[in-house]
Structure formats: structure tokens, C-alpha cells
């Protein structure tokens, strides 16, 4: 395999940038949440790449825990979004201004 | 061959990630998210983290994306609200993407991180390594992770139970 560590890190960095771009661009809470997942995945990819090129398995074990926590986080976050929709009737961030007024 | 696969999976990951950020329809965004996770699993295979690749497909592409698609269809947010994206959000997002993208490219083109040219033998490929690590070095985090999943499950049930306030809000809207 001739792909360097840099190539993987560039992909991870660009994935993070795209996720950040989506978080700033979109108004729909669900899509915002998907873009947050993208950012989390970008860090995961960087960890696995570092772990591979360092020759130690610790990075991979961290990613194992990250996936566990991310699964729990997605479940709780989506439950909150559903409850938000029940109470306010919308999930668009520009309409959720209860703390602003 | 590995080079070609890397470029293919990287293009798949980044392209479908862009689709997630840009697609107007939330269902299509969820399906693009599935493709992104699939491409990530391919990159994991190239990094010889086979276990994580399987986990990525099972947990992310399987459970998380299905959950997203389910909630998107349940809430039906696209039908009633599809509005143009604000100019300020467009400018801010474009500038941040340009800054972060050029920053990443510049950083990794300018100073090449010195790793071994041909990587060492993959240490994360064998399941045995995971088992040993999880039950010796990372025993406490393992227990905490299990407990966290239990707490998350109880929390989700508690949050999504229908409360009186939510019922009242729903009735006042309809």
C-alpha cells in the first residue's frame, strides 16, 4: 500500500470541513445533526489512520468507544428532536427562538 | 490497486458528504449519509481496521442512518417547510468551508507528517488484539461504555414518553 498518512488526514480534514459547512448552512435540525455526525466521523478516520501508521492498536480502541458513545448520543438527540417537534411543531432552527425572546 | 480503491472510497465519502450538506430533501440527505458511512468503512478496510469497518457498517450505516430516516419520515418536516437558505448562512458557510479546506490542504502539503513509508504490520486488524485491550488496559472504559448505553436507553424512553405538556401543546396547535 502506497497511500501516505497525509492522504488519509486530508480526507479526514475535508470531511470535517464539509460537516462544519453543513452545520452553518442548514436550518433543519435533523440535517444539522447528520452534519455533526460527519464531523465526528472525520475525527474517527484521523484516529484510525494515526493508529495504523503508528503501529499501535490504541487508536482503534478509542474509535470503538467513540462509536459506542456516538450511538448513545444519536439516540438521545433524536429523542429530543422528536419531543421538540411535539411541543413546538417545527424543527427549523430559525423558528426555535424561545430563548431569544 | 490499493491506490485506486483509496481514491474511489475517498471520492465516495467526500462527494456524498457534500450531498448530505447540500441536499434540500432530508430523506435524500439521510441516504447520502448512508453512502458516506459506507465509504468510510471502505477507508477503514484500506487501513486494515477490519473490525472497525464492520462496526461502522453495522452501527452507523445500519442503526444510525435507519434511525435518522425513520425520524425524518415520522416528522415529515420537508412537506410543510421548504424555505430558501438565508444569504448570511450561505456566506458564513462558504467562507468557513474555504478557510478550513485550504487550511487542511496547505497544512498537509507544506509539512509532510513523517510516518513510516511502508506502514508497520497492522496491529488493529486482529480481533484478538481488541479483546485483550478491552479487557485489560481499557477495562474501566469498557464498563463505563456499557453503563452509558444503559443510561442512554433509559434516557431515551424517559424523554420520548408523552407528557401532559406536550399533549397540551399539540392540542392547542390543531
DSSP A18: H
Instruction: Note the pLDDT of residue A98.
Output: 79
B104 touches A at CB < 8 Å: yes
Mean pLDDT over B133-159 rounds to 92
Give the 3-state secondary structure of residue A7.
helix
HSE value, Cβ hemisphere, 13 Å, CA-based, for A78 = 23
Q: How confident is the model at residue A11 (pLDDT cuts 50, 70, 90)?
A: very high
How far is residue A42's CA from residue A66's CA, in Å, rounded to a whole number?
A: 12
Residues in chain A within 8 Å Cβ distance of B104 = 9-10, 13-14, 16-17
Instruction: Note the pLDDT of residue A93.
Output: 82
For chain B, percent of residues with pLDDT exceeding 70:
84
Residues in chain A within 8 Å Cβ distance of B113 = 5-6, 9
6-65 of A, contacting B, C-beta below 8 A = 6-11, 13-22, 24-28, 30-31, 33-35, 37-38, 41, 44-45, 48-49, 51-61, 63-65
HSE value, Cβ hemisphere, 13 Å, CA-based, for B154 = 5
How far is residue A77's CA from residue B107's CA, in Å, rounded to a whole number?
A: 34
Look over chain B and give the mean of its residue pLDDT values, rounded to a whole number.
84
Mean pLDDT over B152-170 rounds to 82
pLDDT exceeds cutoff 60 at A68: yes
Mean pLDDT over A41-60 rounds to 88
Q: How confident is the model at residue A69 (pLDDT cuts 50, 70, 90)?
A: very high
pLDDT tens column, B64-79: 999 999 998 888 765 5
Among B49-58, B78-87, B155-164, name the one with the lowest average pLDDT.
B78-87
pLDDT exceeds cutoff 60 at B119: no
Residues in chain B within 8 Å Cβ distance of A52 = 47-49, 119, 122, 124
For chain A, percent of residues with pLDDT exceeding 70:
99
Cα→Cα distances A36→A16, A31, A63, B85, B115, Å: 9, 9, 16, 19, 29
Instruction: Note the pLDDT of residue B56.
Output: 92
How far is residue A46's CA from residue A9's CA, in Å, rounded to a whole number?
A: 6
pLDDT exceeds cutoff 80 at A22: yes
CB-CB contact of B32 with B65 (8 Å): no
Of A10, A45, A68, the CB nearest to B149: A68
| Nearest C-alpha neighbor of B60 from the set A45, A71, A44 | A71
B138's grid cell: 481499557
A16's grid cell: 470535517
For chain B, percent of residues with pLDDT exceeding 90:
39
First to last CA, chain A: 57
Torsion of CA B167, B168, B169, B173, to 10 degrees: 100
Of B40, B68, B129, the CB nearest to A30: B68
DSSP A99: T
pTM above 0.95, yes or no: no
B85 touches A at CB < 8 Å: yes
B99's grid cell: 478557510
pLDDT exceeds cutoff 70 at B96: yes
- Sign of the CA dihedral with B68 first, then B74, B77, and B79 last: positive
DSSP A92: B
Amino acid at each position: 500500500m502506497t497511500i501516505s498518512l497525509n492522504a488519509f488526514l486530508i480526507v479526514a480534514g475535508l470531511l470535517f470541513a464539509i460537516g462544519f459547512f453543513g452545520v452553518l448552512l442548514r436550518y433543519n435540525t435533523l440535517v444539522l445533526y447528520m452534519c455533526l455526525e460527519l464531523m465526528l466521523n472525520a475525527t474517527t478516520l484521523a484516529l484510525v489512520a494515526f493508529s495504523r501508521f503508528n503501529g499501535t492498536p490504541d487508536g482503534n480502541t478509542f474509535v470503538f468507544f467513540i462509536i459506542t458513545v456516538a450511538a448513545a448520543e444519536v439516540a438521545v438527540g433524536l429523542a429530543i428532536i422528536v419531543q421538540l417537534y411535539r411541543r413546538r411543531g417545527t424543527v427549523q432552527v430559525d423558528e426555535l427562538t424561545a430563548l431569544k425572546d | 490497486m490499493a491506490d485506486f480503491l483509496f481514491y474511489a472510497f475517498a471520492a465516495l465519502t467526500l462527494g456524498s458528504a457534500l450531498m448530505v450538506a447540500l441536499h434540500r430533501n432530508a430523506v435524500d440527505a439521510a441516504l447520502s449519509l448512508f453512502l458516506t458511512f459506507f465509504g468510510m468503512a471502505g477507508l477503514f478496510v484500506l487501513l486494515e481496521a477490519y473490525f472497525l469497518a464492520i462496526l461502522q457498517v453495522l452501527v452507523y450505516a445500519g442503526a444510525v442512518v435507519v434511525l435518522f430516516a425513520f425520524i425524518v419520515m415520522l416528522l415529515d418536516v420537508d412537506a410543510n417547510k421548504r424555505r430558501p437558505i438565508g444569504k448570511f448562512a450561505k456566506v458564513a458557510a462558504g467562507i468557513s468551508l474555504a478557510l478550513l479546506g485550504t487550511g487542511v490542504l496547505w497544512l498537509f502539503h507544506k509539512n509532510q507528517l513523517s510516518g513510516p513509508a511502508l506502514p508497520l504490520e497492522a496491529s488493529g486488524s486482529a480481533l484478538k488484539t481488541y479483546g485483550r485491550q478491552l479487557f485489560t488496559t481499557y477495562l474501566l472504559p469498557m464498563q463505563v461504555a456499557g453503563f452509558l448505553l444503559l443510561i442512554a436507553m433509559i434516557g431515551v424512553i424517559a424523554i420520548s414518553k408523552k407528557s401532559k405538556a406536550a399533549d397540551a401543546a399539540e392540542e392547542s396547535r390543531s
